[in-house]
Amino acid sequence: MKQGFRQSQAGLHTWTGLLVGWVLYLIFLNGTVSYWREELTRWARPEIAATQNLETVTRGAVAHLQATAPKAASWQITLPDERASGAETTWKPKGKPKPLRPGAADSTATTIGPDGKPVVARDTEGGDFFYRLHFDLRYMPAIWGRWVVGFCSMFMLVAIVSGVITHKKIFADFFTFRPGKGQRSWLDGHNALAVLALPFHAMITYTGLVTLMVIYVPFGVTANYPTKTAYYAESAPRTKAPKPKGEAAPLTDIGPVLATAAKTWDGGQPGIIRIDNPGDAAARIVLTRRASDKLVDGRWEIVFDGVTGKVRSSVEPTSAGMITRGGMIGIHAGRFAPMTLRWLFFLSGVAGTAMVASGLVLWTAKRRAKLGDTRHFGFWLVERLNIGAVAGLPLAMTGFLWANRLLPTGMPHRADWEVHAMFLTWAAALIHAFVRSPRRGWIEQLSLTGIALVLLPMFDQAATGRGLIDSLKAGDSALVGMELGLLATGASFLLIAWRVARSQVKQGAKDAAPAKPAEAHG
Amino acid sequence: MTLLALLLCLTGFAALALAMDRHHHALVGVRPAKARKRWLQLAGTLVLILALVVSITAWGPAYGPIYWLGLLTAGAAPVLLALTYAPRRKP
């Protein structure tokens, strides 16, 4: 009976894993690089230097809005967190707001540089692209993407639980990795990557589902609220703007407002500043706390009188339910994480990505031994898709980075074309995977990714003002980290490509000798 | 503090690995006696718990366990790599 149950879990694990594996790989890989979302955005906009002083930026943003939109109904300033740079200002004109076409750029948007002056940066989604891709996917309504991602994540949870059950010697094999033994090594590697970072895998999958739980399991909401809008209005109410009085009054100085907020939030900083009725006697300044200050993701807000600068009201999450959910979202996104912890998150994410990839490769490694003749259609399809996904996706993401550097800055829809470049690269990689022999497919795509990544920092040094040496001189640790990270990632891909090339040579030599019977799935 | 907690995780997992027949054999050349196994298991577990205590002391009750779980992974991985790639006796 016990054997039967474990066997059933093995089947469940294998087939659910294969069904959603490629999407999970995309989610894990892009989610993992999203731990460097701000750094990637900084790298993607080399026009903007590092931010030194938030108050300078805020004052600059207010001055810019005052000069360009003194009669606006409201202003909004999105401030960079400590790892990012460049504030963004937008404003809404008086009267009925025109609904913005989804995806269209806000024509009022201006980027404010670290010196408080407007700066023109290339049009790019930067790190936000990878972040969005990992739960919205692309080229489809975000809500569809979220359902696909939710479906796959649910199966990830199934795969984690069934994987633990089907892993016979989870403790005996805890520290075991036997390299150079084909299927055995892939299984060892898959198990080790899974077991060693198991707390992370379970946490990230579960909390990932929690972040979008209102979409997936809406019944708690629908049972208690007439509409979803009513639920959002109560769970995340928006501070309404008062009616303008029509009397002119100068806006209070923003400096003391920031100081009060920092005092109220134990040194916390605002992420968004909204100013309603600027220049009117009924002006209000609404400060929303940035997410990187605290573990719990939620709404911390202080409303100031825009003329006197006095605090009018403030809110913060209080209900146990909101704090629990906010805590789970917070730990998933890791926005709060300082560098040490961020690296632990990132490395665990790398382990998770490699776990999914090794699981996909294991499916073919196991069947290659069994089938002998590998001209079986299903096998052929999975083997080629594995190359196009596991090796092709990082190549495509590298294509995005190169497009960011090479597309002309004045190009219309430039940010979209960076994304198109990524998917065109990916399509090319998939075609390549089907026309080349598997061995060449793996080696060529992995080494091309490696070379393209290693060349990026060299291009930056030659063609942008913020190469590795410039950033070292400027003490800009985020960009130094990015350049070194690109080099290290590229080197890793080259190393993997070399290992694949070497091991297949060895395997080719072994094939001449009498074949050993394949070991069973453990 | 990070370094201390990481070293504790590393030591704890090294002791736990040494308590296992296969790895003890690979490192020492013989299978461990029962009493020695027990002792290593107990020591390894206690050191890992000590790492949790250190983490909570350093980062508080909310952040501490998060650091600890991350450091457990970071501490176990080098043990696995060392057991795989360090030169050892033939079984």
Do the domain assignments include residue B62?
A: yes
B71 to chain A, any CB pair closer than 8 A? The answer is yes
CA-based nearest residue in chain B for residue A331? B66
Name the pLDDT band for A519 (thresholds 50, 70, 90): very low
Q: Residue B16 belongs to what domain range?
A: 2-85
pLDDT digits (tens, 9 = 90+) for A217-249: 888 888 888 888 888 888 777 778 889 999 999
> Which of A489, A426, A520, A415 lies closest to A36, judged by CA?
A489
The pLDDT score that the predictor gives to residue B38 is 94
Residue B36: pLDDT above 80?
A: yes
Chain B CB contacts of A341 under 8 Å are 63, 66-67, 70
pLDDT value at A457 more than 90: yes
A323 touches chain B (CB under 8 A): no
Q: Which residue has the higher pLDDT, A223 or A458?
A: A458
Q: Confirm whether B75 is domain-assigned.
A: yes
Closest residue, chain B, to A196 (C-alpha): B73
CA dist A134 and B7 (Å) reads 34
Query: Does the beta-carbon distance from A295 to B17 stay under 8 Å?
Result: no
Order of strands, sheet of A270-276, starting from the edge strand that comes earlier in the sequence:
A110-112, A87-92, A74-78, A270-276, A284-289, A301-305, A311-315
| Residue B69 maps to a domain | yes
**Which of A170, A171, A175, A206 best probes binding to B when mutated, by most B CB atoms within 10 angstroms?**
A175
Q: Residue A248 forms beta bridges with which residues?
A: A280
pLDDT value of position A299: 87
The answer to whether residue A341 neighbours chain B at the CB level (below 8 Å) is yes
Confidence tier at A2 by pLDDT (50, 70, 90): low
What integer pLDDT is reported at residue A232 of this predicted model? 81
Band the pLDDT of A517: cuts 50, 70, 90.
Answer: very low
User: pLDDT for A182-206, tens place per residue?
Assistant: 888 999 999 999 999 999 999 999 9
Contact present, A276 and A307 (Cβ < 8 Å)? no
| H, E, C per residue of A118-166 | ECCCCCCCCHHHHHHHHHHCCCCCHHHHHHHHHHHHHHHHHHHHHHHHH
Is the CB of B45 inside 8 Å of chain A's CB atoms?
Answer: no
User: Which tens digits make up the pLDDT trace of A108-123?
Assistant: 899 999 999 999 999 9
Q: What is the pLDDT of residue A513?
A: 42
Position A102 scores a pLDDT of 58
Query: What pLDDT shows up at residue A220?
Result: 86
CA distance B40 to chain A (A): 15
Least confident of A26-30, A37-41, A198-202, A504-508: A504-508
B91 within some domain: no
Q: Which residues of A touch B79 (CB under 8 A)?
A: 175
- Position A426 scores a pLDDT of 98
User: What percent of chain A has a predicted confidence (pLDDT) above 70?
Assistant: 93
Pick from A192, A295, A341: CB nearest B62: A295
Point out the residue among A178, A197, A331 whose CB comes nearest to the CB of B73. A197
- What does the longest C-alpha to C-alpha distance in chain B come to? 46
Q: Which residue has the tokens 């980075």?
A: A401
Reported ipTM: the value is: 0.91
Closest CA to A381 of A5, A18, A17, A12: A18
Let me know if residue B90 belongs to a domain. Answer: no
Question: Residue A95: what are its φ and ψ, rounded to 5°?
Answer: 95, -175
B80 vs A147, A178, A196, A299, B10, CA distance in Å?
38, 10, 9, 43, 10
Domains of chain B: total: 1
